[in-house]
Amino acid sequence: MPVSDSVDVDMEDTATADIDGPALPINELFASLQGEGTLAGVPSVFVRTSGCNLRCWFCDSYHTSWEPTHAWLELEDIIAEIESHDVEHVVLTGGEPLLHEESVALLEALDDRGYHTTVETNGTIYRDAPIDLASISPKLKSSTPTPARDPDGGGASANGSKGGGEWAQRHEDDRIDLEALAALVEHYNFQLKFVVTDEADMDEILELLADLRDAADVAIPDQNVLLMPEGATRERLAETRNRTAELALEYGFRYTPRLHVDLWNDAPET
């Protein structure tokens, strides 16, 4: 169900004659296979919210972050669309879905109906909600949109317009929140999914894991740490996949594929 034809960059503007109840800005809502993580291959409904507090240069959901595109859907309509598919697993993703308070209400409604839920999050926000799997993807330094590498070729400004480069510093300042990360791993079943560009990322991953293990009151076993190759196209994955797998073997972490890219390349709603 494509719902990304309505462009509304102002994430605070929910005033519309068609919205009577709680709603979320939805970029995509579709059924497919989970492509990443420990549940890769599981039939799932994906609810992709629009809006993000970070700006990774390699973002594979460009129209939820750099140029937010969405339609506002009431929760009851979102749930009705989910229920129209014969699946038991729902992935709430983005963008950053935990930006939105109404994500909690959606997760509560899905829990009441017996769905298994995964929330894909960058780990900078904690919310108290019924989440079966927190798929946490802390963003490394290699994700920062420096003027030399971002979708606009020179940095996007803080309000989302092109040019200016303000997002580079804002992203770098906000990409790691150790308190939020600790709360997420303490309260939920979790996987830590790191996007790996090359082996230069490994020192930062090890340092962050050490800091998180010191900060959290729960164990963080290596089996919960997943390395995922950076790449939103088959061509790019061909450049990063083998080395990422070798790093997983070398450091004793898990490797996660990107099945949706392997199967459908960069097609939308996959």
The answer to the question of residue 6 being in a domain is no
The answer to the question of residue 12 being in a domain is no
Q: Do the beta carbons of residue 44 and residue 110 sit within 8 Å?
A: no
How many Å apart are CA 109 and CA 113, to the nearest integer? 6
The answer to the question of residue 154 being in a domain is yes
For residue 65, pLDDT beyond 70? yes
Structural domain of residue 206, as residue ranges?
Answer: 23-264
pTM > 0.85: yes or no: yes
146's CB contacts (< 8 A; 6+ apart) are 57, 155, 168
- What value does the mean pLDDT take over residues 182-204? 97
Q: Could you read off the pLDDT of 47-63 as tens digits, one per residue?
A: 999 999 999 999 989 99
CA atoms within 13 A on the CB side of 186: 15
The answer to the question of residue 14 being in a domain is no
The answer to the question of residue 176 being in a domain is yes
Q: Is omega for the bond preceding 21 within 30 degrees of 0, making it cis?
A: no
Minimal CA–CA distance to 201: which of 116, 144, 265?
144
Q: Do the beta carbons of residue 122 and residue 54 sit within 8 Å?
A: yes
pLDDT of residue 259: 93
For residue 157, pLDDT beyond 70? no
The answer to the question of residue 16 being in a domain is no
Q: Do the beta carbons of residue 133 and residue 188 sit within 8 Å?
A: yes
Domain containing residue 103: CATH number: 3.20.20.70
pLDDT of residue 149: 73
For residue 186, pLDDT beyond 80? yes
Give the residues across from 192 on adjacent strands.
136, 225
The answer to the question of residue 4 being in a domain is no
> CB 21: neighbour CB atoms within 10 A?
10
Q: Could you read off the pLDDT of 161-173 as tens digits, one per residue?
A: 443 377 899 999 9
The answer to the question of residue 86 being in a domain is yes
Q: Could you read off the pLDDT of 95-127 as tens digits, one per residue?
A: 999 999 999 999 999 999 999 999 999 999 999
Q: What percent of the chain has pLDDT over 70?
A: 88
How many Å apart are CA 209 and CA 205, to the nearest integer? 6
Give the pLDDT band of residue 150 (cuts 50, 70, 90).
low
How many Å is the Cα radius of gyration of the chain? 18
**Which tokens hold the place of 140?**
């490394």
Quote the number of domains for the chain: 1
